[in-house]
Amino acid sequence: MERTSHEQDRERESVSTLGATVDVLLAAFGLWLVCWPLAGVANAVAGTPLTESQVSLLVGCVALGGSYPFVAGDWSLGRLGDFVFALAASALALGVLGLFAVLLSGIELSGSDPVPQFVTVACAYVVAAVVVYWRD
């Protein structure tokens, strides 16, 4: 039994809707991964004016709202993925470098001081942006 053109149109629309939904979820998750470290550390540096749940809600809203250009605009999900990977790798590498620098220099840092974490995360964002820009 052959399908009618109306059934084929409905099938194409459902596949298109499913693809767009997956793109929104991937973009929102990628943006959440990008925004969460900076928001958490910035909140700690500012003296924790927001609760953990407020920071999570803020990051979630920014991630979901920011996913629109990746679905309907010219922004690339692949480039976002590259940035997420570069951010994680640079944060890890800078953290290890910072660890060795602190150990070799003999400096004592307080574990409750969020400033070294903020500096590491901020530098990781810069390195990730340079790496992604340089690759293109």
Place of tokens 């990977």: 85
Count up the domains in the chain and report the number: 1
Tell me the three state secondary structure of residue 109: coil
Encode pLDDT of 26-65 as tens digits: 999 999 999 999 999 999 999 999 999 999 999 999 999 9
Q: Measured between alpha carbons, how far is 51 from 5 in angstroms, rounded to an integer?
A: 54
- Predicted TM-score of the model (pTM): 0.83
H or E stretch at 53: helix 52-66
What is the pLDDT, as a whole number, of residue 3? 66
Residue 134 has pLDDT above 80, yes or no: yes
Domain range spanning residue 63? 5-135
Q: Measured between alpha carbons, how far is 87 from 69 in angstroms, rounded to an integer?
A: 20
Residue 80 has pLDDT above 70, yes or no: yes
SS3 content of the chain, % helix, strand, coil (to 5): 80, 0, 20
What is the rounded average pLDDT for all residues in the chain?
90
CB distance 32 to 87 below 8 Å: no
Q: Measured between alpha carbons, how far is 89 from 91 in angstroms, rounded to an integer?
A: 6
Tell me the three state secondary structure of residue 73: coil
Residue 14 has pLDDT above 80, yes or no: no
Mean pLDDT of 80-84: 95
